[in-house]
Amino acid sequence: MAKAGSSSSAHRQSEGSGSSIHAPAFESLTRDLRRIFDRHLASLIAYGEGDVDGVHTLALVDQLTFTDLAKCVPLTSGWHRMGLATPLILTDHEFRRSLDVFPLEYGDIIAHHVVLAGSDPFAALAVAEADLRRGCERQVKSQLIHLREGFLETASDPVQITALIAASAAPLRKLLAHLENLEPGAAERAGMTGELIREIAGAAEATIADPSALLARYLTAVERLWQYVDAWR
């Protein structure tokens, strides 16, 4: 089993994610959800680093009804104005039973979270290594399929090819981080070199003389990575 984080690591993560900046928003969200769910709100956590949608939160409840969701609807725009993304609301049972379905996504939440209300729901929770490996394989294959389909839609326009490469950099970064956590050095052994990764990451700012050549090398590396993870057992 792959251990999926602890409360101490979560608090260290929160120090670097600007949680104090969002403290009033977190307090407001906590009050709102406690008013709606009362004693059925088991835990509320913040996780990740935030993005264009806002800071992400997860509410775990003992039970969830359509009426509960309906009560949240008029509050959602206010949460957005405070810099929060729409909260993910699940029952604790649903979260635990979905670990094998979303091992990478939920594993990231478990590893990088801070408790806002209730108890730490992940103190003794783990994601199975076999599930993590299948998650990595799915992510690699999705990346390759996306790049191939995206190239077909570019009409060989260098500007569109560059945009395709640039847009894929963030998902690639997440993929490589998951691979490195699971099997250090796996990406490099499969041919995804540091130089190639830097070229992909800099595509948005750099002027690429021949983006088709870069994409060809990129696709070859992802194909090899696919073959590498496909051989995992």
d(CA 20, CA 129): 34
Half-sphere exposure (CA, 13 Å, Cβ side) for 114? 20
d(CA 44, CA 24): 15
For 115, the 3-state DSSP assignment is strand
Asked if residue 11 lies in contact with residue 114, where contact means CB atoms within 8 angstroms, the answer is yes
Cα dihedral 124, 87, 99, 226 in deg (nearest 10): -120
Closest CA to 19 of 50, 43, 51, 60: 50
Tell me the two tokens of residue 38.
């009362």
CB proximity list for 22: less than 8 A, separation 6 or greater: 46, 55, 82, 83, 84
Tell me the two tokens of residue 120.
């730490």
Mean pLDDT by 10 residues, the chain (233 residues): 38 42 89 97 90 89 97 97 96 94 93 93 89 92 97 96 96 93 90 93 88 96 93 78
Closest CA to 104 of 144, 132, 141, 138: 132
What was the pLDDT predicted at 53?
77
First to last CA, the chain: 15
d(CA 212, CA 165): 10
What was the pLDDT predicted at 160?
96
Q: Give pTM, 2 decimals.
A: 0.76
What was the pLDDT predicted at 2?
42
C-alpha distances in Å from residue 142, one per residue of 32, 150, 228: 38, 12, 15
Angle between helices 194-201 and 211-230 (to 10 degrees): 130
d(CA 33, CA 160): 44
